[in-house]
Structure 1
C-alpha cells in the first residue's frame, strides 16, 4: 500500500477504537453497577477516558492539532486517569473492608475476552501502520491499545478466578486494585509526556 492508503487505514483504526470503547464503556459500567463489581465498573470508566485519548490521536492524524492545546488536553486526560485510579483504589479498599463481592463475574469474563481479542487486533494493526508511516503518534496510539490489553488481562484473570473459586470473595477487589495501578501508571505517563519538552502529540502512552 502507498502512504495515502496507510493514512486512511490509520484513520479508520482510530475511529474504530473510539466506537468500540464507547460501547465497551457503557456496557461495562452498566454491568459493573448492577453486579456491584468494582473491577468491571472501573474498566468501563477507563474506556471513556481512552475515547478522549483516541480523539487526540485522531485530531493529530487529521493535521488539525495545535501542539500547545494538545499538550494541555493530554495533561488533563492524564490527570483524569490518575483521579480514576484513585477512585477505583478507594472503592476496592472499601469493598475489601466490608467483604462485599459481586454475585457473578460472568459479564466481566465475557467483556474482557472480547476486549482482549479486539485490542490485540488493533494493537498489531496500529503498529504496522506506525511503521509504514513512520509516525510517533500512531506508535503512541498502539501503546495505548497495549495498555488496554493489560487492563483486559487483569479483568479476565480476576473474573475467571472468582468464577472457578467463588470462595475467594476478595478477587474482584484485588482485580480492581490491579486495574487502578495500571490506569495510574498510564495517567502518570501522559502527565510526564505532556510536561516534556520533547512532546510531539498523541496519547502520550508511548513515552
Structure 2
C-alpha cells in the first residue's frame, strides 16, 4: 500500500478512536458535573464516529482506484450523521432553555477546560497532517475532511471559552451559552452532512 495511504488510514483510525474516547469521558463528566456544554460536546464526538466510519470506507474505495464519488454506504452514513447532529442540536437548545429558566449551575467545568485544551491540540495536528496527505494524494475528499476538522477545532474553542468563563465568573448562564453555540455548529454540521450525501465528498471530524 502507498505510504501516503497508510498515513491517511492511520489518521482516520486516530480520529475515530479519539472521538470514542473523548465522547466517553466528556459524557461521563458532563453528567457528573452537570455541565451541558461538556455533555453536548461528548455526544457530538459520538456522532462524529459514524462520519469517520464513512470516511474510512471511502478511503478503501480510493485505494482500490474506484474514484471519490460517494457510494450508498457513505451516503447512508452521512444521513445518519446529519440526523444525529439535528437531534443533538435540538436537545442542547431545549436543555439550555431549561437550565437558564431554573438558574442551574454546573458543579465545576475544570474537566471541560482540560478536555478542550487537549482537543484543540489534537485537532490542530490532525488538520495539518490531513491537509498534507490530501495534497500529496491529490484527494479533494481528504482535503475536504481536513477543512471540516476545523469546525471541530472551533467547537473545542467554544467549550474552552464556556468552561473557563464559568470557572472565572461562576455565572451559570455561560455554560448554557456554550451549549447553544455547540448546538449551532451541530446544526450546521448536520445540514452539511445531508448536503454532502447528495454530492461527491464526505466530511468527518474529530474533536
Query: Normalization by structure 1: what TM-score?
Result: 0.91
> How far off its partner does 1:117 sit?
0.5
Aligned residue number for residue 38 of structure 2: 40
- Preserved CA contact (<8 Å) 1:85 1:181: yes
The 1-side partners of 2:105 and 2:156 are apart by: 19
Q: Name 2:9's counterpart in structure 1.
A: 11
Distance 2:161 2:173 in 1: 13
RMSD over aligned Cα, in angstroms? 1.7
State whether structure 2 residue 25 is matched by structure 1 residue 27. yes
Residues 47, 81 of structure 2: 8 Å contact kept: yes
Equivalent pair of 1:74/1:204 in contact (CA under 8 Å):
no
Q: 1:68 is matched with which residue?
A: 72
Q: Alpha-carbon deviation of 1:121? A: 0.4
Q: Which runs of 5+ in 2 are unaligned?
A: none
Partner of 2:151: 147
Q: Is the 8 A contact 1:74 1:190 kept in 2?
A: yes
Q: What is the TM-score of this pair, normalised by structure 2?
A: 0.91
Number of equivalenced pairs? 199
For structure 1, which runs of at least 5 residues remain unmatched after alignment? none
Q: Which runs of 4+ in 1 moved over 4 A?
A: none
* Deviation sequence 1:50-73 (CA, Å, 0-9, x none): 111011111110118861232122
Distance of 1:201 and 1:73 partners within structure 2: 12
Q: Distance in 2 between matches of 1:23 and 1:164?
A: 27
3-state secondary structure, aligned to 2:48: helix
**How far has the Cα of 1:204 moved from its partner?**
6.9
1:112 equivalent in structure 2: 116
